[in-house]
Structures are given as structure tokens and as C-alpha cells.
Amino acid sequence: MLKPKIFQIATIHVPVKRAKSLDRYKVGQIAEGILEDGQTVPIQVRADAERFVLVEGLHRIEAMKALGESTINGYLVQPRQR
């Protein structure tokens, strides 16, 4: 079972294709929820050389950025095999 880890937001790369699906309204709603309850669902990242690549959790990471946070809870996952 995966255990959440704390990641520096600055070390997480968001692929351009994924970033295009950003909904600012949703980011605002998630940010409000984080203020009330904290981050309840970790993001998912995969390792890529000196950084991490976002797999799941675009709106959560953007909400944390909007709140001025420098870290985020997440799972380090393995890349999918093709």
C-alpha cells in the first residue's frame, strides 16, 4: 500500500497537455475545501530525472499554489507499462 509523502511543489512538472484542462473555478472550490479540512486526497507523481511529473491532481496542486503553500501530499507512483 502506498504511503503519502510530502513533495516540494516547485519540483513537480505539470505537462502542458494536462495543464490545458485547468478549471479556475474548480481550483477555487478545492482551495476553500483545503482551508476548511486540509488536503484530504494526495496527488500522484512519477519520478523523472531531477523532478517529478504530475500524474493526477492538477486542481489540487493549483489550489495549494493559490494558497501560497510550498509543499503538497502525494503518492510516488510507477510509470504505466506499455
pLDDT at 18: 85
Among 42, 41, 43, 34, which residue's Cα sits nearest to residue 63?
A: 34
pLDDT at 78: 84
What is the total residue count of the chain? 82
Question: What DSSP state is assigned to residue 9?
Answer: G
pLDDT at 43: 97
Task: Tell me how far apart the alpha carbons of residues 78 and 82 are, in angstroms, rounded to a whole number.
Answer: 12
Low-confidence stretches of the chain (pLDDT < 50) are: none
CATH number of the domain located at residue range(s) 5-76 in this protein: 3.90.1530.10
pLDDT at 3: 83
pLDDT at 81: 62
pTM: 0.88
